Structure 1
Amino acid sequence: MSSVSDREINMAREANKNRDSRFQTDDVLRRKGNSFEDYYLKKELLLGLYENGFMYPSPIQEATIPIAMTSKHILARAKNGTGKTGSYLIPILDMVDRSINKVQAVIIVPTRELALQVSAVAKALSTHLDLNIMCSIGGTNYKDDILRLKGSVHILIGTPGRIHDFTERGIFATDACHMIALDEADKLLDDNFLPDVEAVISALPAQRQILLFSATFPKLVQKFSQQYMPGAHEISLMNELTLKGITQYYAFVDERQKLQCLNTLFAQLAINQCMIFCNSNNRVALLARKITDLGYSCLYIHSRMSQDDRNRVFHDFRRGAVRNLVCSDLFTRGIDIQAVNVVVNFDFPTTSETYLHRIGRSGRFGHLGIAINLIGMDDRFNLYRIERELNTTIEQIPRSIPAELYASSGEEPLPADI
């Protein structure tokens, strides 16, 4: 492990003080005033945090990190885009012992893109820890992953089916794996993924720590926690469900006029990057072609694409190669691209959970953003119901949307939401 001095840590910390937080909201600023040093983290991890632009823990990180460091189960609920990923990554990275060449922590997420994102953040933060972090997802070379697991891997990140397959086949020893994190738990614990998740947990030692995070907690999460997480420390920072920095609008538009309306929005809004959601894979591809025909840069992503194509689109959009991305609900879970300041529901969702996760792609980690919903006559009852269930207000779109509600006027990008 590299030797990190206090001077290096201080220099990295000082470099963060010039960051502009004018556009951050109470979701990340309503802190108790703790610092990362208060948790007695390894110096190598502290340096990684500061080098990646993080000055202070967010409210959810303040609430969870010290509890997680005591090896207690955690059942945590917080808004999308407020730092949930760092709440489990930071204690895991700190507690893993590099001298033990076995998998000591497993992180399970519901989508391949989210697994890649969490893995990238974990590797960035652990640069000076010299840990071996592996991401394994469906659609990638299985034999290569087996060979890597036969070597030295400390943290394994992946989707439920792939991780379950590894444990079922005994590909890696689980006797040293005492930590498991479940991100986007409401999705992981539905009927599609629950059997795989339960099988993985059963393969771990009896004295294991479960860190469970989500923005929404349906009854199935409570049932799971009662069975597998006795005495779990419960944390909720959900006095309200939607992020403070997101302004929500609706526009009643006939189906035949939706594309024209979208074209008008593109022309009038100060878009940094925009995500446009459709309710089916076919409509995703069709709309992307129509947007391209209008002369705008656009990519699309959905679940029927090959993994290589999904990876290419994900990375191209993340690095800002294109301004617009049309997507299915594949892309609603935990994906953090802070340049996104506009979300458009080209097709209005049918559930409040889906709506919440979609609009949460903008306004992340205290940034500002807008969500615009194109509503047909058949959607109006869903609109009223979602407003009521989320206790939020979706206003009729004005003729002109003030840029200060969502545009950052060229501010320096803030650190990624970890």
Structure 2
Amino acid sequence: YGGGDGANFSTEKQALSKGADIVICTPGRMISHLNMGYVQLKGLRYLILDEADRMLDMGFYDDLMKIISFLPPKRQNLLFSATMPEKIRDLARKILHQPEEINIAISKPPAKIVQEAFVLYEAQKIPLIAHLLRDRAEQSVLIFCSKKQAVKTLCRELRRLKFNIEEIHSDLLQSAREQVMLDFRSRKLKILVATDIISRGIDIDNIDLVINFDVPNDGEDYIHRIGRTARAQTDGTAYTFISEKEQGKFAVIENLLGSPVKKGKIPDSFGPVPEYSPRRGAGGGRPKGRYKPHFRKKQ
């Protein structure tokens, strides 16, 4: 359950009142039902938190803890997370009881994706993205920014340059997001700018190009972002813009990938560009040790 209209809410209420075997929901939607007092949870046996790191990044910690407060104490909990920062470990300590931990090495992006990175100054990003978009007028392009304010600013600048473009971020109503995604999936809309809110879980087979307007926070986010292209046996391209302060962060990602990403040439008309000379761990990245898959059993 998540988003939708009043009719959907009524259908959900009926199902939750009578009982259901499996419920898949967003935190906010479930809280709306829980606050009404009719949700039957006495027989609940399993709680599964998928993409827990993403939910915490989006500010759902308090919502999750509120939902958990309604649940029977005796249950099995399963927590899935692409990363394990301290906030995820803190959540695990609060909701899990003597857990078994399974760590799986990160997957690599499909070989069909042509990866290329552009090293440039921050002020050169918008002129370069406009240049690239003009050369791909008929292609489906998905642009990622790490912050919603960056999404809004980039969209404003590209609209000023006469590009037909839409945006998706957490400030949009669910109904508005659904309409934008419908237009993008049907190729009525060719260019979409979004936060990482859609870097996972969307299923669109015809995205020709993914552009990282900024360097993702970690390798997992990078792989999820560029994995939106080259789906369903098609080829795809992924560009990443690297400013001076983001070089260290991208070097961490390259180390995770196991090989450097090809650096693209920026037109001479854009003026001089910085040299790619990253310092390991610089630029706000989150370097993390990686390990082979292993199982740690309860003692």
**TM-score, length-scaled by structure 2:** 0.69
SS in 2 for 1:384: helix
Q: Confirm whether residue 177 of structure 1 aligns to residue 177 of structure 2.
A: no
- Alpha-carbon offset, residue 243 of structure 1: 4.5
Q: Deviations over 1:175-200 (max 9, x none)?
A: 23323332212223569323432443
SS in 1 for 2:49: strand
Q: Confirm whether residue 337 of structure 1 aligns to residue 204 of structure 2.
A: yes
| Matching residue of 1:251 | 118
Name which of 74, 97, 102 aligns with 1:234. Answer: 102
CA distance in 2, matches of 1:335, 1:211: 23
CA distance in 2, matches of 1:277, 1:209: 36
| Matching residue of 1:377 | 244
| Matching residue of 1:150 | 17
Name which of 214, 222, 244 aligns with 2:81. Answer: 214
Q: Check the 8 A contact 2:116/2:238 in 1, yes or no.
A: yes
SS in 1 for 2:131: helix
Query: What is the 5 A alignment of 1:74-93?
Result: none
- Alpha-carbon offset, residue 346 of structure 1: 1.9
Q: CA RMSD in A?
A: 3.7
Q: Check the 8 A contact 2:16/2:40 in 1, yes or no.
A: no
SS in 1 for 2:80: strand
CA distance in 2, matches of 1:267, 1:396: 20
Query: What is the 5 A alignment of 1:19-418?
Result: 135-137=1-3, 141=6, 144=10, 145-146=12-13, 149-150=16-17, 153-167=20-34, 169-189=36-56, 192-222=59-89, 224-225=91-92, 227-228=95-96, 230-232=98-100, 234=102, 236=104, 238=105, 240-268=107-135, 272-292=139-159, 294=161, 296-364=163-231, 368-388=235-255, 391-397=258-264
User: What stretches of structure 1 of length at least 5 have no aligned partner?
Assistant: 1-134, 400-418
SS in 2 for 1:217: coil
CA distance in 1, matches of 2:150, 2:56: 28
CA distance in 1, matches of 2:84, 2:112: 22
- Alpha-carbon offset, residue 172 of structure 1: 0.9
Q: Deviations over 1:118-150 (max 9, x none)?
A: xxxxxxxxxxxxxxxxx134x854964545633
| Matching residue of 1:88 | none
Q: Percent identity over the alignment?
A: 31
- Alpha-carbon offset, residue 326 of structure 1: 1.0
Q: Check the 8 A contact 1:271/1:342 in 2, yes or no.
A: no
**TM-score, length-scaled by structure 1:** 0.52
User: What stretches of structure 2 of length at least 5 have no aligned partner?
Assistant: 267-299
* 1:212–1:396 distance in 2 versus 1, CA, 3 Å: same
Q: Check the 8 A contact 1:136/1:156 in 2, yes or no.
A: no
CA distance in 2, matches of 1:148, 1:161: 17
SS in 2 for 1:343: strand
Equivalent pairs counted in the alignment come to: 264
One-letter identity of the residue aligned with 1:374? F
SS in 1 for 2:214: coil
- Alpha-carbon offset, residue 327 of structure 1: 1.4
| Matching residue of 2:279 | none
CA distance in 1, matches of 2:168, 2:58: 24
CA distance in 1, matches of 2:32, 2:160: 43
One-letter identity of the residue aligned with 2:24? I
SS in 1 for 2:208: strand
Choose between structure 1 and 2: higher helix proportion.
1
